[in-house]
Amino acid sequence: MLSFNRSGLGIWKMGGKKSTPVTPVTPVTPEEKKPELLGNPWRNVAWDHSNKTKLMQSLREYKPTIRSVPQAQILLIGAVGAGKSSFFNSMNSIFRGNITGRAKAGHQDTSLTLKYRTYQVKAGRGGQPLAFLLCDTMGLEPTVNGGLNIEDIVGILKGYIPDKYQFNPAQPMKADDCQACSTLALKDRIHCVVYVIDATTIGIQGMKNKIGEIKKITNSADVPLVALLTKVDKACPHVEKDLTKVYRSCYIKDLIYRAGGSLGIPPSNVIPVKNYYDEIELNDTCDILLLMAMKQMLNFADNYLENYEVNTE
């Protein structure tokens, strides 16, 4: 009988009238196991330039369903370095027609964003603001007194916290620190919360307690929770080579389901994107994913507004 030692060399052993060769089994290391591709995408996307144009026009024409709300307010939260500020920069770049970097973005251990910022996206250079705001926050950190304080999220959702407010992780703003908090209009509140997750790390390690608190807060306020899965190109080699394969990647699909499970939301609420980071030119494929994500966020914001009567103040 032929057996194999650790070096893979065959050794014959006599054990009867017949000698049977044994096929060696080579262990597969995690480094050798590559994500596979599905034969067909599990979400259908048109990757042509005309679809990009159509998506841009849809966002230009978007208006909240309630007239007293001039702009849908989308809150971006997530771990340090997940890509919150980069998402705004990317969206701003698409409508400007060139790469921009208005919001501070980069890589470091602590958050680059220290203030609460509400950013408008304009329809081209010198154009009119579009009917949504992207609200950027300090990054979440695993430690109790690190990064964005959970209590500040409550204040942001209710509209208590003003633009350019300086975050203090150890001392959140209290409701009685601002004026007329009990009479804040619907237009000042957050209409959709987006948890931004780095696909290369999932961005939820050590965050279980804070994620649970965030989920309770959004549920209590009836605000939709969406997840934005960033850096999908760095998470899967197939997608890095060709971004149009994002919905054929078994690995990215698995990440989407895992992220949804961790946040307690359905996979349909998890949207993969690639932000602009080291590029100097725009790319239609990247733009389409980003625009689709923005459109989905506004769909969820509309769901929130539909819970209120027309012209609610």
Concatenated DSSP letters of the chain = -EEE-TT--EEE---SS---B----PPPPTTT-PPPB-SS-SS----SHHHHHHHHHHHHH---SSTT--SEEEEEEEBTTSSHHHHHHHHHHHHHTS----S-----SS-S--B-EEEEEESSTT-PEEEEEEEE-PPB-SSTTSBS-HHHHHHHHHT-SPTTPBP-TTSPPPGGGSSSGGG--GGGS-SEEEEEEETTT-S-TT-HHHHHHHHHHHHHHT--EEEEEE-HHHH-HHHHH-GGGTTTBHHHHHHHHHHHHHHT--GGGEEE----SS-SS--HHHHHHHHHHHHHHHHHHHHHHTTS-TT--
CATH number of 49-307: 3.40.50.300
pLDDT tens digits, the chain, 313 residues: what are they?
A: 434 343 443 433 444 444 444 444 444 444 445 558 999 999 999 999 999 999 999 999 999 999 999 999 999 999 988 999 999 999 999 999 999 988 765 555 455 667 899 999 999 988 999 999 999 999 888 877 778 888 899 999 999 899 988 888 777 776 555 544 554 799 999 999 999 999 998 756 667 888 899 999 999 999 999 999 999 999 999 999 999 999 999 999 999 999 999 999 999 999 999 999 999 999 999 999 999 999 999 999 999 999 886 545 4
List the domain boundaries for the chain: 49-307
